[in-house]
Amino acid sequence: MAEHSLAVIILAAGQGTRMKSTLPKVLHPIGGRSLIAHVLDTAAGLQPEQVIAVVRHERERVAGAILEHAGATVIVDQDEVPGTGRAVEQALAALPAEFDGTVVVLSGDVPLIDVATLESLVSGHREQGREMTILSAIFENPTGLGRILRDASGAMTGIVEEKDATDTQRKITEINGGIYVFARRSLEAALAQIDTNNAQAEKYLTDAADRILAGGGRVDAVSTRDHWLIAGVNDRVQLSAVGRELNARTVEAHQRAGVTIQDPTTTWIDADVSIDADVVILPNTYLKGATSIASGAEIGPDTTLVDCEVREGARIRRSEVTLAVIGAGAEVGPFSFIRPGTELGNKGKIGAFVEVKNSQVGDGSKVPHLSYIGDTEVGDGSNVGAGTIVANYDGVNKHRTVIGDAVRIGSKNVLIAPVTVEAGAYTAAGTVVRKGVPAGSLAMSVAPQRNIAGWVAENRSGTASAEAAERAEHAKGSVE
């Protein structure tokens, strides 16, 4: 039982100077989550008894973000002694004294490491009876990274940091990926012997390797071909590279699960998005946050969905939609702007150049062209004419508008909220709806049209209009 217990330590005390940011490095997002949130999720995937995060730089913000994402995480503050060895030493002190199991060490800025790789690293570590297992890789250009030292037989003898390495050691291409599995007791014993006597005056976690070997423990590095698993983020160039790779993996996973994605390079899908099989995603589409898309829907091109629920068979083209529910078989776009709190019913339509905010548009109801609908409830089977605006704001407060079932709002209406148009009512083109319209009534607010004969000839003589009018009169005369 005890030998199968597992704890995870996540290192996140470093400063991240090269990001040149007021935001702590590990809080920069890729795929809609902070770097550290990805690592916390992977740690949780190992189902450990405890996850410990070591913090120091921007302590409050980093610890706050960690606890918000994974409330059971134990936060440990690193003291003024620098180095990865010191960070891990202090984390171990937060483990229960009786914990005699396996410790996985991850970095808050290495976000693509996955559960499967760590599981196989841990099982190899246990099967081989090792005290330390390092995830390594062969890098053509290993500059800046720790090198794995091996003897002539290939057995590991230690790790040397670039800054402490000899010229010969710098030619070694097997690098320390910075992800480790340890036996708790031997790691603790090794760290107690490590000093800061090196080029960076830090307590190096990597020095645990030769200490454990000297004590007769087994140590080895297991190399991965997938370099992205150990890719760290130190600057914004690496942030985008790792973000792009995460996206490529997310897109591919959806494709393998039955989603058609026409252009993976211009499709960006956050890690938390869920997409059913037989959804089609067209180019230049951004699916963000907790968006979910049901089977048969088609999204894009040129569309952004944030925290949306899109139901079966809906179609959304060239639009921006946030915190909205789009009903089954509904149509949105092109060029719709749908803001939080909008619910479009089944087979409803929000069309070209229409903005909708905090409104319900019922089943089969349509707002097809050039409208603003805010704080409004539209029943089922209604139609809102082109160019209609709901005036929901009186300059101080916002008010609601209610439009019943099977209503026909004419073109270019202004509905002055609060106002209700009851079921089955019509409003004429150009109506300014200032008071309620009873069920089945026709509302009109427009003055009757008057034509003043000869006005152009009298007031605009000599213009093209006057001449055209004269020709038209003449033509009529000659026909008669």
Show which residues are catalytic.
369
Is 24 a binding residue for ligand UD1 by CB under 6 A? The answer is no
Is 269 a binding residue for ligand UD1 by CB under 6 A? The answer is no
Q: Which is nearer to ligand UD1, 161 or 363 (CB)?
A: 161
Q: Which residue lies nearest ligand UD1, judged by its C-beta? A: 146
Q: How far apart are CA 129 and CA 212, in angstroms?
A: 13
Rounded to a whole number of angstroms, the minimum distance from the CB of residue 76 to Ca ion is: 19
Rounded to a whole number of angstroms, the minimum distance from the CB of residue 207 to ligand UD1 is: 8
Rounded to a whole number of angstroms, the minimum distance from the CB of residue 35 to Ca ion is: 12
456-478 b/e (C-beta count within 10 Å ≥ 16 → b): bbeeeeeeeeeeebeeeeeeeee
Burial of 2 per CB tally in 10 Å (0-12, 13-18, 19+): exposed
With CB under 6 A as the contact rule, the residue among 8, 12, 95, 275 that binds ligand UD1 is 12
Q: Which is nearer to ligand UD1, 196 or 255 (CB)?
A: 196
Q: Which is nearer to Ca ion, 203 or 311 (CB)?
A: 203
For CA atoms 221, 227, 228, 233, give the dihedral sign.
Answer: positive
Q: CB under 8 Å, gap of 24 or more: what pairs does 382-386 form?
A: 382/406, 382/407, 382/408, 382/409, 383/407, 383/408, 383/409, 384/409, 384/413, 385/409, 385/410, 385/411, 385/412, 385/413, 385/429, 386/411, 386/412
Q: Which is nearer to Ca ion, 234 or 441 (CB)?
A: 234
Rounded to a whole number of angstroms, the minimum distance from the CB of residue 75 to ligand UD1 is: 12
How many residues line the site for ligand UD1 (CB under 6 A)?
26
- Binding at 243: pick from ligand UD1, Ca ion, none (beta carbon under 5-8 Å per type): none
Q: How far apart are CA 36 and CA 59, in angstroms?
A: 14
Q: What is the C-alpha R_g of the chain?
A: 33
Q: Which is nearer to Ca ion, 162 or 422 (CB)?
A: 162
With CB under 6 A as the contact rule, the residue among 5, 78, 186, 427 that binds ligand UD1 is 78
Paired tokens of 423: 């079921």
- Binding to ligand UD1, residues 172-231 (CB under 6 A): 175-178, 204-206
Specify whether the CB–CB gap between 391 and 373 falls below 8 A: no
Is 108 a binding residue for ligand UD1 by CB under 6 A? The answer is yes
SS3 81: coil
DSSP string covering 117-185, please?
Answer: HHHHHHHHHHHTT-SEEEEEEE-SS-TTS-EEEE-TTS-EEEEE-GGG--HHHHT--EEEEEEEEEEHH
Which one of the spans 35-43, 80-88, 284-292, 307-315 is the region binding ligand UD1 (CB under 6 A)? Answer: 80-88
- Binding at 158: pick from Ca ion, ligand UD1, none (beta carbon under 5-8 Å per type): none
Task: Name the nearest CA neighbour of 180 among 136, 137, 115.
Answer: 136
Q: Which residue lies nearest Ca ion, judged by its C-beta? A: 232
Q: Which is nearer to ligand UD1, 232 or 333 (CB)?
A: 232
Residues in the chain: 480
With CB under 5 A as the contact rule, the residue among 24, 146, 177, 232 that binds Ca ion is 232
Q: Which is nearer to ligand UD1, 221 or 275 (CB)?
A: 221
- Binding to Ca ion, residues 269-308 (CB under 5 A): none
- Binding at 374: pick from Ca ion, ligand UD1, none (beta carbon under 5-8 Å per type): none
Interface pattern 124-163 for ligand UD1 (x via CB under 6 A):
---------------------xx------------x-x--
Rounded to a whole number of angstroms, the minimum distance from the CB of residue 105 to ligand UD1 is: 9
Paired tokens of 147: 């090198």
Specify whether the CB–CB gap between 394 and 419 falls below 8 A: no
Rounded to a whole number of angstroms, the minimum distance from the CB of residue 111 to ligand UD1 is: 11
Specify whether the CB–CB gap between 10 and 107 falls below 8 A: yes
Give the number of other CB atoms < 10 A from CB of residue 309: 18
Rounded to a whole number of angstroms, the minimum distance from the CB of residue 234 to Ca ion is: 6
DSSP string covering 350-402, please?
Answer: EEET-EEES-EE-TT-EEEES-EEESEEE-SS-EE-TT-EEE-B-SS-B--EE
Q: Which is nearer to ligand UD1, 13 or 40 (CB)?
A: 13
Which one of the spans 9-17, 268-276, 391-399, 444-452 is the region binding ligand UD1 (CB under 6 A)? Answer: 9-17
Rounded to a whole number of angstroms, the minimum distance from the CB of residue 164 to ligand UD1 is: 9
Positions touching Ca ion (CB under 5 A) are 232
Positions touching ligand UD1 (CB under 6 A) are 11-14, 54, 78, 82-84, 86-87, 107-109, 145-146, 159, 161, 175-178, 204-206, 232
